[in-house]
Amino acid sequence: MHPFRKAVEERDEAAIQALLADSVVFTSPVAFKPYVGKAITAAILRGVLRTFEDFRYVREIDGSDGRDHALVFETGIVGAPGVKITGCDFLHFDDDGLIDDFMVMVRPLSGATALSEAMGAQFERIQQEAVELAGKFATAT
């Protein structure tokens, strides 16, 4: 099992964060502009853990060079009964084995819309958590 998959399935926020490069670029399925940096990406992923319910990875796809990995998932959205999402986490790893590019795609449109609304409702909290995490990361180095 891939270490990122294991961390997500165990809802281990520290392990998820430890797998992110400081300059990771996170491309959301519902935002136009990518987010850059470990703190904001970790905070977004914390928000996702709060938003998804009955989350499970259903397939892993490895790139031939070992630096690309795709994890296909299925999930529901808290507070959106009956909405089901199929998605994929596309991960690229740097020379140190850390995720430096993280893109998520989801379908169908109704699921993406529900996800956008759920994440938007907590984005102020996500931004605050990113500020707090950035402070922790800065003092840890």
For the chain, the domains span 3-133
Whether domain 3-133 has CATH 3.10.450.50: the reply is: yes
- Look at the block and give the residue holding tokens 């959301």: 28
- Residue 124: which H helix or E strand, with range? helix 123-140
> Can you read off the two tokens belonging to residue 11?
């809802």
> How many whole angstroms separate alpha carbon 16 and alpha carbon 5?
9
How many CB atoms neighbour CB 76 within 10 A?
18
- Say what the pLDDT of residue 95 is: 93
> How many whole angstroms separate alpha carbon 45 and alpha carbon 39?
10
Q: What confidence tens digit (pLDDT) does each residue in 48-98 have?
A: 999 999 999 999 999 888 899 999 999 999 988 889 999 999 999 999 999
Q: What confidence tens digit (pLDDT) does each residue in 95-108 have?
A: 999 999 999 999 99
> How many whole angstroms separate alpha carbon 70 and alpha carbon 88?
6
Q: What is the pTM of this model?
A: 0.90
